[in-house]
Amino acid sequence: MKITTVFSLLAITLFTNLSSRLQAAEEPSTAMKLIKLMEFTKTAKAGASASFSPFLQQLKTKGLPEEGLKEMSEAAERFFSKTFDNPAIEVDIAKIYEENYTKEEMVELLKFYQTPAGKKSIEAMPKIMQESSKIGEKYAVQNQAAFQTEMQTIMAKYAPAPAPAPVK
């Protein structure tokens, strides 16, 4: 075999190997595909905005004028965009999925989120979370006084002893 043929075969082998590695590196992970399909950024911003809405409502009842409410709402939207438009957050969220699901389970989730019911669940999630939060608050209020008393008792139990008064 000629040396040029050997070099040609070697070059083809190296190119093929490098090409397949580059394709694998560019292919998003299953978890990242899931994050993208679930429209994490859009859903997170909508959820954060929905969670911020009751706070704005409280400020309105306390007399903050419409202009102030509008400015606060716009500031919050900028904050949510800066937070959730950061590509690193999706990478970190994908890691959480990878830690809690197998690849096969994530493939099943991908299939589900492509169905009409899966798409609807993505769209409904911010509203469901907001309404669930309100219900949780309603029930938490019922137990709040007892919880505060219990926390105060525990804090008193472990509070440092007062320093002795200086001797005169």
CA distances from 113 to 33, 74, 104, 167 (A): 11, 31, 14, 73
Q: Write down the pLDDT at residue 109.
A: 94
Q: Taking a C-beta distance cutoff of 8 angstroms, is the pair 65, 143 a contact?
A: no
- Rounded-to-integer distance, Cα 96 and Cα 48, Å: 19
pLDDT at 15 over 70: no
DSSP helix/strand/coil, 105: helix
The predicted-structure confidence for 113-168, as pLDDT tens digits, reads as follows 999 999 999 888 888 887 887 788 888 888 888 888 998 899 888 888 888 888 87
Q: Taking a C-beta distance cutoff of 8 angstroms, is the pair 34, 106 a contact?
A: yes
Q: What percent of the chain has pLDDT over 70?
A: 85
- Rounded-to-integer distance, Cα 37 and Cα 43, Å: 11
Cα dihedral 123, 97, 21, 26, rounded to 10, equals 30
CA distances from 52 to 75, 121, 136, 154, 161 (A): 11, 21, 16, 32, 41
Q: Tokens 């999706």 map to which residue?
A: 90
Average pLDDT estimate for 13-23: 53
The amino acid sitting at 109 is: L
Q: Write down the pLDDT at residue 47.
A: 81
Contacts 24+ apart (CB under 8 A), 115-118: none
The predicted-structure confidence for 69-84, as pLDDT tens digits, reads as follows 999 999 999 999 999 9
Question: Tokens at residue 102, please?
Answer: 């197998």
Average pLDDT estimate for 83-90: 91
Q: What percent of the chain has pLDDT over 90?
A: 37
